[in-house]
Structures are given as C-alpha cells and as structure tokens.
Chains A and B, each alone.
Chain A
Amino acid sequence: MINPEHEQAQKLSSRAALLKGSNEEEARRLFARAARMELQALGKIPTDKARTRGILSVSFAALLIKAEDYRAARKELPRLLEDASLSPSSRRQIEDLLEEARQRDHGPSRIDKTADLQPSMHVARKPKS
C-alpha cells in the first residue's frame, strides 16, 4: 500500500461513488474528505517518485471536482502545477480540471471544509531559469 492516507482516500472515494445518484450531498461530503486525505497522501510521497506524485495529484484534483468544491480547486490546482516533475499527462489532466473549476465556480463553495487543505502541500518548485 502506498500509504495509509491514500488507503483512506480510496475508501472514502469508493463510498462516495456508491452514493452517487442516491445521496448526492453525502457523496460530495465524502469526496471532499477523500480529497483532503489524498492531499495528505501526496505530501508524503518523495519528490523522486514522479509518477506516483503525478497520479495522486490528478486524483486529488479530480476529487475536488467531484466534491463540487470549485473554489478550493481554483486555489489548490495552480499549486499542483508548480511541481516541475509532473508528467505531461498529469499536467494536462490537472489543467483540464482547473479549467472546469473556473467555468463552474459561480458561487460559494458547496463544501465548507477546505481550510485545512493547505498545510500538507509539498510540491517541487520549478527551477528558476
């Protein structure tokens, strides 16, 4: 297993996916919790594990969109894109998700629990040229 945080994110996301269509509000809440756990999981992945970091970065971004937390996505996804080690595939997917968040963010966040997203962000910054 990659780490316990990712395992917890998977469990929350799986539960949320099963609730889609029957209890949308609870599904969004679980997706938001899963996003927070995935971000913590990402923070524990060493910077030399580029592929793993890319996959978890996309997963975090997708979970924010599934939680319909577009405000948090607009705030957090640009930080993910500062990771110089992101593969083109991961970068493209995050850019697409950020664009979707920008298009959909017309009101207050539907999830009011994003304040704790920030502390565990550890991205490899682009080298200054």
Chain B
Amino acid sequence: MTRKNDDGLAVPFKEPLPELSELHVRHPGLTIHICRAYAEAAGVCLARHHTSPVEMSLTGPFSPCRRQVSWPDPTRRAIRAWGNRDDATRDGAYSLSLAAVEAEYGLTAIARADTRTGADFYVAPHGEHEDLENAYRLEVSGLDRTGESRLQSRLRRKITQVAEGDGSGPSLVVVVGFSAGRIAMAEVEDEK
C-alpha cells in the first residue's frame, strides 16, 4: 500500500507507530510515569494541528514511509498542564522519536541519563542492554509549527552539532514536526 508525499512521489504506508502510552513495556529506559507523561504531551501537541489518527511521514537512512499514529483526545486538564509549549513540544517529541526508532530500527531505550537541562536517552537493539558502550544517544528536537524547509534546517543543524561534538559516541538525530506530521531522522557517527 502506498501514499503520495508532498512531492507527488509514492511512499509505502507501513505499520502504525507503536502505541505511545505503552512504550515503557519494551523500553526499559522509560518508566511508566515518564512514558505516559510524554505520550500525553505528544497528544496535546498533535491535537493542536490534527485529529487522531494521522499519518506521519518518516524520512531518514531508510526508505521514506508513512506510519499512522493515534492518541486520545487531550482533556482540558491535560492541555492546561502542558501549557508550557516548549516543555510539551520537547516531551512530545521524545515520545514520537522513541516510537519511531523502535519502528524503523528495532531500537529501544535502555537508559535515561540526566544532563544539566534534562535527560538524554540511549537506545540499543534488544539483547544489548547491559551497558552503554555501543548504544546510540538519541538527540531529539521538536517543532510545534513548521514547514519542511525549517524542519530540514533544524535537522542539518542538529547533525552538525552532534558531528562536531567531542567524543560523545554514535547518535541518532530525530526532528519531529507536529504541524507538518513529520519525523526526520539521521545517524551521526562520532569518530573522535
């Protein structure tokens, strides 16, 4: 089954993204509370622009595809609780990014490690969960309202930032565009 993208090209329509509120079942680096909070944030952000379900367009080092994502209608309380748009966009992007790397790469979050401003997630294939030596750091960026040009610009900037890092290891960069229904991904090898 295929759909046409914005350029008129046919792209395959794949299985839906994993249920956002149940990621913790397969992602040991997520607690149930954090998983549900991120999923709620994703629902609030998606509901600003779309009605559930929506087909999101995924691109990266794999064949472009579309995957459906669904979410419950956010309650008024949830919308108020996620009134800080920056926090909601960041945490909602975490939820969709973790679902996307599971769907496209078979990677799941094995650790959440704190940083000064938040936390980094580390993802690895099932069975490689004993340490972080070969895990990918998940570098996530969310955009509430964006077009393709700004989304690609943000992706390039994040790739450059990660590539110019100083030995933090291999990373997956994911940019989520909520209004555009887009998830753009890239792999960055840190060779330092």
State the A residues within 8 Å of B (CB).
Answer: 1-2, 6-7, 10-11, 13-15, 17-18, 34, 38, 45, 49-52, 55-56, 58-59, 62-63, 65-66, 87-90, 92-93, 96-97, 100
Find out whether the CB atom of A49 lies under 8 angstroms from the CB atom of B112.
no
Please judge, given known A-B contacts A1-B129, A51-B132, A89-B167, whether A66 and B114 are in contact too, CB under 8 Å: yes
User: How many residues in B have their beta carbons less than 8 Å from beta carbons of A?
Assistant: 27
Q: How far is the CA of A102 from the CA of B129 in the complex (A)?
A: 36
B142 contacts partner chain A, Cβ-Cβ < 8 Å: no
Q: How far is the CA of A92 from the CA of B120 in the complex (A)?
A: 16
- Cβ–Cβ < 8 Å partners of B133 in chain A: 49-52
Interface of B is mostly: loop
User: Nearest A residue to B35 by beta-carbon distance?
Assistant: A14
Please judge, given known A-B contacts A15-B33, A58-B113, whether A1 and B131 are in contact too, CB under 8 Å: no
- With A51-B132, A89-B168, A93-B116 known, 11 other A-B pairs at CB within 8 A are A2-B132, A10-B111, A10-B112, A15-B33, A49-B131, A51-B133, A55-B111, A62-B116, A87-B168, A88-B166, A97-B116
Find out whether the CB atom of A88 lies under 8 angstroms from the CB atom of B167.
yes
Partner of A14, one of B112, B116, B131, B165: B112
- Cβ–Cβ < 8 Å partners of B114 in chain A: 13, 34, 38, 58-59, 62-63, 66
State the B residues within 8 Å of A (CB).
Answer: 28-29, 31, 33-34, 37, 110-116, 119-120, 122, 129-133, 165-169, 192
18 A-B pairs with CB atoms under 8 Å apart are A2-B110, A2-B132, A14-B33, A14-B34, A18-B34, A34-B114, A49-B131, A56-B113, A58-B113, A58-B114, A58-B115, A62-B114, A63-B114, A88-B166, A89-B168, A93-B116, A96-B116, A100-B116
Min CB gap A114→B, angstroms: 17
**Number of A-B residue pairs at CB separation under 8 A:** 81
Find out whether the CB atom of B130 lies under 8 angstroms from the CB atom of A2.
yes
- Cβ–Cβ < 8 Å partners of B166 in chain A: 87-89, 92
Interface of A is mostly: helix
Find out whether the CB atom of B132 lies under 8 angstroms from the CB atom of A55.
yes
Min CB gap A34→B, angstroms: 8
Among A6, A51, A58, the most chain B Cβ lie within 10 Å of the Cβ of A51
Partner of B165, one of A1, A63, A89: A89
Q: How far is the CA of A10 from the CA of B112 in the complex (A)?
A: 6
